[in-house]
Structure 1
Protein backbone atom coordinates (compact mmCIF):
# COMPACT_ATOMS: atom_id res chain seq x y z
CA UNK A 1 0.00 0.00 0.00
CA UNK A 2 1.38 3.40 -0.97
CA UNK A 3 0.18 6.42 1.02
CA UNK A 4 0.74 10.15 0.64
CA UNK A 5 0.74 12.12 3.88
CA UNK A 6 -0.23 15.79 3.58
CA UNK A 7 0.31 18.65 5.97
CA UNK A 8 -1.43 21.89 5.03
CA UNK A 9 0.31 25.12 5.97
CA UNK A 10 -0.86 28.44 4.58
CA UNK A 11 -1.14 28.02 0.83
CA UNK A 12 1.12 24.92 0.72
CA UNK A 13 0.33 21.22 0.71
CA UNK A 14 3.50 19.57 2.02
CA UNK A 15 3.68 15.91 1.04
CA UNK A 16 5.51 12.71 1.80
CA UNK A 17 4.92 9.35 0.15
CA UNK A 18 5.60 6.11 1.97
CA UNK A 19 4.95 2.51 0.98
CA UNK A 20 4.37 -0.59 3.08
CA UNK A 21 5.15 -3.75 1.13
CA UNK A 22 5.82 -7.19 2.58
CA UNK A 23 6.17 -5.69 6.06
CA UNK A 24 8.85 -3.19 4.98
CA UNK A 25 8.58 0.58 4.65
CA UNK A 26 9.97 2.43 1.68
CA UNK A 27 10.10 6.20 1.09
CA UNK A 28 10.57 6.81 -2.64
CA UNK A 29 12.31 9.88 -4.05
CA UNK A 30 9.59 12.23 -5.28
CA UNK A 31 10.04 15.10 -7.73
CA UNK A 32 8.38 17.65 -5.44
CA UNK A 33 8.01 18.13 -1.71
CA UNK A 34 5.08 20.53 -1.76
CA UNK A 35 2.37 22.08 -3.89
CA UNK A 36 1.55 25.76 -3.61
CA UNK A 37 -1.75 27.40 -4.48
CA UNK A 38 -0.50 30.70 -5.92
CA UNK A 39 -3.89 32.42 -6.36
CA UNK A 40 -6.61 31.73 -3.83
CA UNK A 41 -9.32 33.72 -5.62
CA UNK A 42 -9.49 32.48 -9.22
CA UNK A 43 -10.61 29.06 -10.44
CA UNK A 44 -7.83 28.27 -12.91
CA UNK A 45 -4.98 28.17 -10.35
CA UNK A 46 -7.08 25.85 -8.17
CA UNK A 47 -7.74 23.53 -11.11
CA UNK A 48 -4.01 23.52 -11.95
CA UNK A 49 -3.23 22.71 -8.30
CA UNK A 50 -5.65 19.76 -8.44
CA UNK A 51 -4.30 18.56 -11.80
CA UNK A 52 -0.65 18.72 -10.67
CA UNK A 53 -1.41 16.95 -7.39
CA UNK A 54 -3.44 14.22 -9.10
CA UNK A 55 -0.75 13.71 -11.74
CA UNK A 56 1.90 13.17 -9.07
CA UNK A 57 -0.33 10.66 -7.25
CA UNK A 58 -0.87 8.75 -10.52
CA UNK A 59 2.83 8.84 -11.40
CA UNK A 60 3.81 7.37 -8.02
CA UNK A 61 0.82 4.99 -7.87
CA UNK A 62 -0.50 6.31 -4.55
CA UNK A 63 -3.47 4.36 -3.13
CA UNK A 64 -4.54 6.72 -0.36
CA UNK A 65 -4.02 10.37 0.57
CA UNK A 66 -4.21 11.23 4.27
CA UNK A 67 -4.40 14.85 5.38
CA UNK A 68 -3.41 15.87 8.89
CA UNK A 69 -6.42 17.54 10.52
CA UNK A 70 -6.08 21.14 11.70
CA UNK A 71 -7.99 22.97 14.42
CA UNK A 72 -11.01 24.90 13.23
CA UNK A 73 -10.68 27.67 15.81
CA UNK A 74 -8.43 28.88 18.55
CA UNK A 75 -4.75 29.73 18.78
CA UNK A 76 -3.65 26.85 16.53
CA UNK A 77 -6.48 27.12 14.00
CA UNK A 78 -5.67 26.33 10.40
CA UNK A 79 -5.27 29.09 7.84
CA UNK A 80 -8.55 29.64 5.92
CA UNK A 81 -6.72 29.02 2.65
CA UNK A 82 -5.58 25.62 3.88
CA UNK A 83 -9.23 24.58 4.22
CA UNK A 84 -9.82 25.56 0.59
CA UNK A 85 -6.89 23.35 -0.42
CA UNK A 86 -8.25 20.53 1.74
CA UNK A 87 -11.63 20.80 0.00
CA UNK A 88 -9.97 20.77 -3.41
CA UNK A 89 -8.11 17.58 -2.48
CA UNK A 90 -11.17 15.90 -1.00
CA UNK A 91 -13.23 16.60 -4.12
CA UNK A 92 -10.86 14.67 -6.39
CA UNK A 93 -12.94 11.57 -7.08
CA UNK A 94 -9.98 9.72 -8.61
CA UNK A 95 -8.26 9.51 -5.20
CA UNK A 96 -9.12 8.00 -1.85
CA UNK A 97 -8.64 11.09 0.37
CA UNK A 98 -9.29 11.27 4.10
CA UNK A 99 -8.58 13.67 6.94
CA UNK A 100 -7.16 12.04 10.05
CA UNK A 101 -6.81 13.48 13.53
CA UNK A 102 -3.60 14.00 15.47
CA UNK A 103 -4.88 11.48 18.00
CA UNK A 104 -5.24 8.82 15.30
CA UNK A 105 -1.72 9.55 14.07
CA UNK A 106 -0.27 9.42 17.61
CA UNK A 107 -1.97 6.08 18.26
CA UNK A 108 -0.39 4.67 15.11
CA UNK A 109 3.03 6.06 16.01
CA UNK A 110 2.78 4.55 19.50
CA UNK A 111 2.37 1.09 17.93
CA UNK A 112 5.54 1.43 15.88
CA UNK A 113 8.85 -0.01 17.03
CA UNK A 114 10.75 2.88 15.45
CA UNK A 115 9.50 6.30 14.39
CA UNK A 116 10.92 7.46 11.04
CA UNK A 117 13.15 10.52 10.85
CA UNK A 118 12.73 12.68 7.73
CA UNK A 119 16.45 13.32 7.28
CA UNK A 120 17.36 9.65 7.67
CA UNK A 121 15.01 8.65 4.84
CA UNK A 122 16.18 11.43 2.51
CA UNK A 123 13.44 14.00 3.07
CA UNK A 124 13.60 17.63 4.10
CA UNK A 125 12.88 18.39 7.75
CA UNK A 126 9.74 20.38 6.88
CA UNK A 127 8.27 17.16 5.39
CA UNK A 128 8.43 15.26 8.68
CA UNK A 129 4.82 16.00 9.80
CA UNK A 130 3.55 14.72 6.43
CA UNK A 131 5.77 11.62 6.75
CA UNK A 132 4.53 10.92 10.28
CA UNK A 133 0.92 11.39 9.13
CA UNK A 134 1.32 8.72 6.45
CA UNK A 135 3.37 6.45 8.71
CA UNK A 136 0.85 6.71 11.59
CA UNK A 137 -1.97 5.86 9.19
CA UNK A 138 -0.11 2.80 7.86
CA UNK A 139 0.66 1.59 11.38
CA UNK A 140 -3.04 1.86 12.29
CA UNK A 141 -3.99 -0.09 9.16
CA UNK A 142 -1.41 -2.80 9.88
CA UNK A 143 -2.78 -3.55 13.34
Structure 2
Protein backbone atom coordinates (compact mmCIF):
# COMPACT_ATOMS: atom_id res chain seq x y z
CA UNK A 1 0.00 0.00 0.00
CA UNK A 2 1.29 3.45 -0.89
CA UNK A 3 1.02 5.74 2.13
CA UNK A 4 1.87 9.41 2.35
CA UNK A 5 2.77 10.60 5.82
CA UNK A 6 1.82 14.22 6.41
CA UNK A 7 2.97 16.70 9.02
CA UNK A 8 0.99 19.95 9.06
CA UNK A 9 3.34 22.66 10.25
CA UNK A 10 2.57 26.35 9.95
CA UNK A 11 1.10 26.71 6.47
CA UNK A 12 2.99 23.71 5.03
CA UNK A 13 1.87 20.14 4.46
CA UNK A 14 5.13 18.18 4.59
CA UNK A 15 5.19 14.78 2.84
CA UNK A 16 7.04 11.48 3.01
CA UNK A 17 5.87 8.49 0.97
CA UNK A 18 6.19 4.88 2.10
CA UNK A 19 5.39 2.11 -0.38
CA UNK A 20 5.17 -1.41 1.08
CA UNK A 21 7.12 -0.20 4.11
CA UNK A 22 9.96 1.43 2.16
CA UNK A 23 10.62 5.14 1.66
CA UNK A 24 9.95 6.36 -1.86
CA UNK A 25 11.67 9.54 -2.89
CA UNK A 26 9.42 12.14 -4.48
CA UNK A 27 10.10 15.57 -5.98
CA UNK A 28 7.13 17.12 -4.16
CA UNK A 29 8.15 17.32 -0.52
CA UNK A 30 5.57 19.85 0.65
CA UNK A 31 2.63 21.97 -0.44
CA UNK A 32 2.15 25.40 1.06
CA UNK A 33 -1.25 26.91 1.83
CA UNK A 34 -1.18 30.56 0.79
CA UNK A 35 -3.24 33.28 2.44
CA UNK A 36 -5.56 31.54 4.90
CA UNK A 37 -8.20 34.24 4.41
CA UNK A 38 -8.26 33.91 0.61
CA UNK A 39 -10.72 31.43 -0.90
CA UNK A 40 -8.45 31.02 -3.93
CA UNK A 41 -5.65 29.75 -1.69
CA UNK A 42 -7.94 27.06 -0.30
CA UNK A 43 -9.00 26.08 -3.82
CA UNK A 44 -5.36 25.96 -5.01
CA UNK A 45 -4.36 23.83 -2.01
CA UNK A 46 -7.28 21.45 -2.62
CA UNK A 47 -6.35 21.05 -6.29
CA UNK A 48 -2.64 20.61 -5.47
CA UNK A 49 -3.36 17.89 -2.89
CA UNK A 50 -5.67 16.04 -5.29
CA UNK A 51 -3.16 16.27 -8.15
CA UNK A 52 -0.40 15.01 -5.84
CA UNK A 53 -2.54 12.05 -4.71
CA UNK A 54 -3.37 11.13 -8.32
CA UNK A 55 0.15 11.62 -9.70
CA UNK A 56 1.79 9.62 -6.90
CA UNK A 57 -0.99 6.99 -6.71
CA UNK A 58 -1.43 7.63 -2.98
CA UNK A 59 -3.87 5.20 -1.36
CA UNK A 60 -3.75 6.63 2.16
CA UNK A 61 -2.78 9.93 3.75
CA UNK A 62 -1.62 9.45 7.36
CA UNK A 63 -1.69 12.82 9.12
CA UNK A 64 0.06 13.42 12.42
CA UNK A 65 -2.54 14.58 14.92
CA UNK A 66 -2.16 18.06 16.38
CA UNK A 67 -3.48 19.29 19.70
CA UNK A 68 -6.61 21.38 19.33
CA UNK A 69 -6.12 23.36 22.54
CA UNK A 70 -3.44 24.29 25.02
CA UNK A 71 0.10 25.53 24.76
CA UNK A 72 1.08 23.30 21.83
CA UNK A 73 -2.17 23.62 19.90
CA UNK A 74 -2.01 23.53 16.12
CA UNK A 75 -2.73 26.75 14.29
CA UNK A 76 -6.15 27.28 12.78
CA UNK A 77 -4.84 26.95 9.24
CA UNK A 78 -3.62 23.40 9.95
CA UNK A 79 -7.17 22.29 10.73
CA UNK A 80 -8.36 23.83 7.47
CA UNK A 81 -5.59 21.93 5.67
CA UNK A 82 -6.59 18.68 7.40
CA UNK A 83 -10.19 19.12 6.27
CA UNK A 84 -9.01 19.60 2.69
CA UNK A 85 -7.06 16.32 2.86
CA UNK A 86 -10.20 14.60 4.14
CA UNK A 87 -12.09 15.81 1.06
CA UNK A 88 -9.59 14.15 -1.30
CA UNK A 89 -11.60 11.71 -3.46
CA UNK A 90 -8.63 9.54 -4.48
CA UNK A 91 -7.18 8.54 -1.08
CA UNK A 92 -8.32 7.60 2.39
CA UNK A 93 -7.18 9.64 5.40
CA UNK A 94 -6.30 8.61 8.93
CA UNK A 95 -5.12 10.72 11.85
CA UNK A 96 -2.26 9.22 13.87
CA UNK A 97 -1.66 10.33 17.46
CA UNK A 98 1.85 11.63 18.18
CA UNK A 99 2.26 9.23 21.13
CA UNK A 100 1.57 6.28 18.82
CA UNK A 101 4.18 7.53 16.36
CA UNK A 102 6.80 8.04 19.09
CA UNK A 103 6.11 4.62 20.63
CA UNK A 104 6.35 2.80 17.28
CA UNK A 105 9.48 4.71 16.27
CA UNK A 106 11.19 3.79 19.52
CA UNK A 107 10.01 0.17 19.42
CA UNK A 108 11.07 -0.38 15.80
CA UNK A 109 14.17 1.83 15.80
CA UNK A 110 13.24 3.63 12.60
CA UNK A 111 15.84 6.06 11.32
CA UNK A 112 15.48 8.77 8.72
CA UNK A 113 16.62 7.30 5.37
CA UNK A 114 19.75 8.66 3.71
CA UNK A 115 18.78 11.39 1.27
CA UNK A 116 15.65 12.42 3.14
CA UNK A 117 15.48 15.98 4.42
CA UNK A 118 15.42 16.35 8.21
CA UNK A 119 12.16 18.33 8.01
CA UNK A 120 10.43 15.26 6.46
CA UNK A 121 11.29 12.99 9.39
CA UNK A 122 7.99 13.34 11.29
CA UNK A 123 5.99 12.73 8.10
CA UNK A 124 8.11 9.64 7.41
CA UNK A 125 7.59 8.20 10.90
CA UNK A 126 3.86 8.89 10.57
CA UNK A 127 3.73 6.94 7.29
CA UNK A 128 5.78 4.09 8.75
CA UNK A 129 3.43 3.92 11.74
CA UNK A 130 0.41 3.74 9.42
CA UNK A 131 2.04 1.02 7.30
CA UNK A 132 2.38 -1.53 10.09
Q: Same fold, TM exceeding 0.5?
A: yes
In structure 2, how many angstroms separate the alpha carbons of the residues matched to 1:36 and 1:5? 16
CA spacing shift, 1:93–1:57, aligned 2, 3 Å: closer
Deviates more, 1:123-132 or 1:38-47: 38-47
Match of 1:84 in 2: 80
Deviation of the 1:55 alpha carbon: 1.1
Structure 1 segment 35-114 matched on structure 2, within 5 A: 35-112=31-108, 114=109
Deviates more, 1:87-96 or 1:71-80: 87-96
Q: What is the number of equivalent residue pairs in this alignment?
A: 132
Q: Is it true that 1:116 corresponds to 2:117 in the alignment?
A: no
Contact 1:16–1:134 under 8 Å retained in 2: yes
SS at match of 2:78: helix
Contact 2:4–2:18 under 8 Å retained in 1: yes
Deviation of the 1:106 alpha carbon: 3.1
Match of 1:9 in 2: 9
Which runs of at least 4 in structure 1 moved beyond 3 Å after TM superposition? none
Question: What is the alpha-carbon root mean square deviation over aligned residues?
Answer: 1.5
Contact 1:106–1:136 under 8 Å retained in 2: no
Q: TM-score, normalised by structure 1?
A: 0.84
In structure 2, how many angstroms separate the alpha carbons of the residues matched to 1:117 and 1:63? 22
Contact 1:105–1:133 under 8 Å retained in 2: yes
Contact 2:64–2:96 under 8 Å retained in 1: yes
Contact 1:108–1:138 under 8 Å retained in 2: no
Gaps of 5+ in 2: none
